[in-house]
Amino acid sequence: MATERLNKFHEAVNAVGSEVLLPAAIDLIAQTNPERLYAEIPLSTTTFDAGFRRISYRELSNAANGIAWWIHRTLGPSKTCEPLCYMGPNDLIRNIVLLGNCKAGYSTLMMTPRFNAIAHKNFIDRCSCDKIIMPQGPESADPSIIALYSQVLRAPSLEELLDQEHPSFPFEKSFEDFKTEPLVILHTSGTTGFPKPIIWSHEYVASYVKERRLDPPEGFESNDRLLLGGKLICSFPPAHAGPTWVTLMFTVYCGSTMVYLLSGLLPTVALLVECVKHKPVDGLMLVPPQIEELALNFEALLYISQRGETMFYAGGDVTLAAGDAISSKMKLITTCGSTEQGFWHTLHPNGPWNPKIWKYVRLHPAQRLNFRHQSEDLYEATYTRNDDPSGYKQSIFTIFPKNPVYATGDLFSPHPEDSELWQFRGRADDMQSFITAEKFYPTQMERIIGTHPGVNAVLFVGTRRPRGALLVELRNPSENKETFLDSLWPLVEEANRPVPFTAKITRDMILITDAELPMARSVKGTIERRGTVKLYEEKLDVLYAVHSQA
């Protein structure tokens, strides 16, 4: 299987160069290898039992032409790469719209319905976007959001796009002339305010592809090559960067094929089990909450591990207990990066797989990422721009072209025995600053306490406060609170041992969250620290007023 993956990867590399624009690359494959498999999609939106349809590059190219002509007839051509918003499920229509928009001269703004109307309006105003494309079927967004757009366009159905023959839509733009133009606009999580736009140009795509294609140093293998050329499931939300990286760049330029999940259902562990029952895969790309859910379901984990070799996760951290459970059955890869950076290119040594170091990453030296000391054992990952004409420009510097360096804000600690292995510890803005001027980095405490099987989420609170407190979200909200705290206390004591006095947690400074007011979460399902603290600000004020002098 590994040899077959590698062969497909090399065939894809030879088929199209990294600087061939994405729509042109698909058209080229459609001409030279029309029946090459792009994806397998369920015939139903609610069950896999109806079977799958195989989508070739000829069909993908034809469907993109269909959307391009539809946009041309509906809106006319654009010479300014005007953004058109798309909001819909994580299905094939998403990519067809993105490709068709580009052919017709537009860019695509990928948006989530999870933002409220105020945040949504702020974002589309910043992007000068007043038109939205939506799939046919039930509304996926609140009417107050749809009302923000001057035009709401319903895309043709998938059957219409795939089954009808569409004339070729001319796309003759060169990379040099078009490389700085936007392809897709994504958004930040909105953790610290309104979401901000992140624009991926065609140069970003080329840089990202070049990084994926880097040969590993002698003695090492690329973790990417566990996926590239293989059959993949990607369960990231449709507005997340992941589907664009995986379902377009991994496929078109690196030979992978996609197996799509059911667009009408949430991507639960049960759904993943059903999918691999019908379609075994090489790798699964999951978000942290799915990793946590899978780790608690031994039968599901065992089954998936027999139908898939590798699991990648991105978008946040996972608990040690969950990672250990997955790593005992599959190759588990910690993926670092961001929407701006892309996934880091990481390595593993030749030879037997070591399941015990899943929490650590080893970087490809060509990325020019180093770790700058911040405090204690914490180091910030920082890029230095590659100005060597024979090398490649890292993706991050296509977004920030004037920066000679880029500090990621991600903090890591080195492995005690191997200085080239690094463990993600959290974000620099997770640092808590007490009113005493003391500072405390809480992620290790949160990880320890979060291993309790009854804990769904845990968050340390301390910034602008006299001492530490904990917010704890229960898996079973009806559980007796005192009984739960009794069972939690040994872990709190363990987490308290190495921390300064101000950060130590006492029992009366633990606040159990309300079932009807869950912690704030990002589009990826990870906890939003500032948003959660704001939700519970009044209750925390009362907690501190009553107990802060204890």
Q: What is the pLDDT of residue 1?
A: 67
Nearest to 422 by CA among 337, 360, 364: 360
Q: What is the pLDDT of residue 98?
A: 98
Question: Where residue 138 falls among pLDDT bands split at 50, 70, 90?
Answer: confident
Same domain (yes/no): 462, 414: no
Percent of the residues in the chain that have a pLDDT greater than 70, as a whole number? 98
Q: What is the pLDDT of residue 108?
A: 98
Mean pLDDT of 414-436: 89
Q: Which of 409, 428, 447 is the last residue of a domain?
A: 428
Same domain (yes/no): 485, 440: yes
For the segment 454-502, what is each residue's pLDDT rounded down to a tens digit?
Answer: 999 999 999 889 899 999 999 999 899 999 999 999 999 999 999 889 9
Q: Which of 315-319, 430-434, 540-544 has the highest mean pLDDT?
A: 540-544
Q: What is the pLDDT of residue 83?
A: 97
The answer to whether residue 276 scores a pLDDT higher than 60 is yes
CA distance 478 to 135: 39
CA distance 155 to 97: 8
Q: What is the pLDDT of residue 522?
A: 76
For the segment 249-273, what is each residue's pLDDT rounded down to a tens digit?
Answer: 999 999 999 999 999 898 999 999 9
DSSP tally for the chain: helices H, then strands E: 20, 27
Q: What is the pLDDT of residue 250?
A: 97
CA distance 228 to 234: 13
Same domain (yes/no): 537, 452: yes
Going across the sheet that includes 107-110, the strands are 151-154, 131-134, 83-86, 107-110, 182-187, 197-201
CA distance 197 to 98: 17
The amino acid present at 388, given as its one-letter code, is: D
CATH code, domain with 437: 3.30.300.30
Q: Is residue 90 part of a domain?
A: no
For the segment 187-202, what is each residue's pLDDT rounded down to a tens digit?
Answer: 976 555 678 899 999 9
CA distance 450 to 328: 20
Same domain (yes/no): 441, 506: yes
Q: What is the pLDDT of residue 193?
A: 60
Going across the sheet that includes 369-375, the strands are 360-361, 422-427, 405-414, 378-384, 369-375
Mean pLDDT of 361-388: 92
CA distance 57 to 33: 8
Q: Is residue 34 part of a domain?
A: no
Same domain (yes/no): 521, 472: yes
CA distance 296 to 9: 34
Q: Which of 381, 400, 428 is the last residue of a domain?
A: 428
- The more confident residue out of 106 and 374 is 106
- The more confident residue out of 315 and 177 is 177
Element (H, E) at 110: strand 107-110
Q: What is the pLDDT of residue 390?
A: 74
The answer to whether residue 540 scores a pLDDT higher than 70 is yes
Same domain (yes/no): 446, 514: yes
CA distance 236 to 253: 20
Nearest to 508 by CA among 538, 468, 535, 458: 468
For the segment 37-72, what is each residue's pLDDT rounded down to a tens digit?
Answer: 999 999 999 999 999 999 999 999 999 999 999 999
Nearest to 322 by CA among 299, 344, 290: 290
Structural tokens at position 352: 């037997």
Same domain (yes/no): 424, 500: no
CA distance 63 to 91: 14
Nearest to 141 by CA among 165, 164, 119: 119
CA distance 200 to 399: 7
Q: Is residue 339 part of a domain?
A: no
Q: Are the CB atoms for 543 and 469 separated by under 8 Å? A: yes
Helix, strand, coil shares, percent, the chain, to 5: 35, 20, 40
Same domain (yes/no): 373, 473: no
Same domain (yes/no): 469, 522: yes
First to last CA, the chain: 61
Q: Is residue 104 part of a domain?
A: no
Same domain (yes/no): 372, 387: yes
**Maximum CA extent, the chain:** 75
Q: Are the CB atoms for 232 and 260 separated by under 8 Å? A: no
For the segment 71-124, what is each residue's pLDDT rounded down to a tens digit?
Answer: 999 999 898 999 999 999 989 999 999 999 999 999 999 998 888 888 899 999
Same domain (yes/no): 469, 504: yes
Q: What is the pLDDT of residue 228?
A: 96
Q: Which of 374, 406, 428 is the last residue of a domain?
A: 428
Domain total in the chain: 2
Same domain (yes/no): 371, 479: no
DSSP 183-237: EEEEE---TTSS--EEEEEHHHHHHHHHHHTPPPPTTEEEGGGGTTTSEEEE-S-
Question: Where residue 550 falls among pLDDT bands split at 50, 70, 90?
Answer: very low
- The more confident residue out of 464 and 334 is 334
- The more confident residue out of 428 and 329 is 329
Nearest to 189 by CA among 542, 549, 529: 529
Q: Is residue 396 part of a domain?
A: yes
Q: Is residue 246 part of a domain?
A: no
- CA 496 from chain centre, in angstroms, equals 32
Rg of the chain in Å (alpha carbons): 24
* Residue 411, domain extent: 362-428
| Backbone φ, ψ for residue 121 (5° rounding) | -65, -40
Q: Is residue 255 part of a domain?
A: no
Q: Is residue 268 part of a domain?
A: no
Q: What is the pLDDT of residue 19?
A: 96
